[in-house]
Amino acid sequence: MGVASSLGTEVETFWQNVITGQCGIDRVTSFDISDYPCQIAAEVKDFDPTPAFPNPKEVRRADRFTQMGVFAAWKALEDSAMTLEELDRDQIGCFIGSGIGGLGTTEKQHTILTSRGPGKVSPFMIPMLILNMASGVFSIYNGLRGPNVATCSACATSTHALGEAWRTIKMGDAKAIFAGGAEAAVVPMSMSGFAAMRAMSTRNDDPQHASRPFDIGRDGFVMGEGAGVLVLEEMDHAIMRGGRIYCEIVGYGNTADANHLTAPDPDGKGAARCMQMALRSGGLDNDNVDYINAHGTSTPQGDICETKAIRSVFKEHADQIAVNSTKGATGHMLGAAGAVEMILTAKALQTGIAPPTINYENPDPECDLDYVPNEAREMEISAALNNSFGFGGHNATIAATKFTGYAARVA
């Protein structure tokens, strides 16, 4: 697994910061934010992508989202201990998506176009801004010739990437896939557009407490940037080479609300069907699930709809499930959110620690689940879900279980 986030660019650092309740949200520093309604975000500060690239020139030819995606994939490769030269790279793929792509490049090149004319637009503009480039570039640098796509489904993007990668491996079309997402949308156009929708928190005087999933005082999401990439691998292939196994992905759900451009189904029906699909494909009963990493964006309606969806699926067992959102710590990383949260879900399964929902101070009567408030919890976690829901009504859920079978399988 590999990550680039406001709380660290090493998985273990990131994990420790999340479970100890740290927050990566602060006032935006990358441009003058003083005239914007929302002036806070979770930026990846002092980010250096150069170790993941062949040379500095290639870094300059990549948008920030590509830099982060390639970096996270490179860290995932490092963590996996794969020796690519010893493996069949026709069987190794990349599914690294983005919800928005190179918006920073689009802004910059549009300014050049309008101020200096079309002859001054960079010949690298198109390959820098298109959202498939993190997936494409990483495969180019590492000679990965297996299946290669870039998903785009808003905030469900990287969870769809994981699910489709899992499905591709199950179909026998690859042995391993680098799957996840990258986003670098802390830029003027994005910050103004989301603010115009009144989707973002305006708690500018208190950035650390602005994102408060499921709390009755929540007033919108806070933008985050970064990337998360996981190596999904066919079980026997991973065991054969002695790979580190964090957890086993067993199921995947993919549904649509078919309801509204931005608003979720008011009763959470699409999200509920998505979780049911993941459980069904994973052969899990409702009472098998111990933990859910919720989408939990800290928006007034979204958190209620997800709570309704969980209750409708799990009935009485819903009260026995630890449900958290880590977006109070990381901000909402849009197309990267699902993969970053899958990293946390995998660590929760591996360690038996449920991360906290920070800034949960005042309960909302319409959000009545166990949200692991403010402090991490040691508990038995045998099976977990990771939810992601995006504008356009896109829903994605991954079901995963604790991996306990290495010794038995090797024997």
Supply the residues annotated as catalytic. Answer: 155, 295, 332
Cα–Cα distances (Å) from 394 to 44, 151, 254, 278, 279, in that order, read: 27, 12, 8, 15, 18
* Full strand arrangement of the beta sheet holding 226-233: 2-4, 226-233, 176-183, 92-97, 148-149
φ, ψ at 396 (rounded to 5°): -145, 140
The CA distance from 132 to 152, in Å, is 9
C-alpha torsion angle, residues 167, 171, 176, 178 (rounded to 10) = -30
Rounded to the nearest angstrom, the gap between the alpha carbon of residue 269 and the centroid of all alpha carbons in its chain is: 22
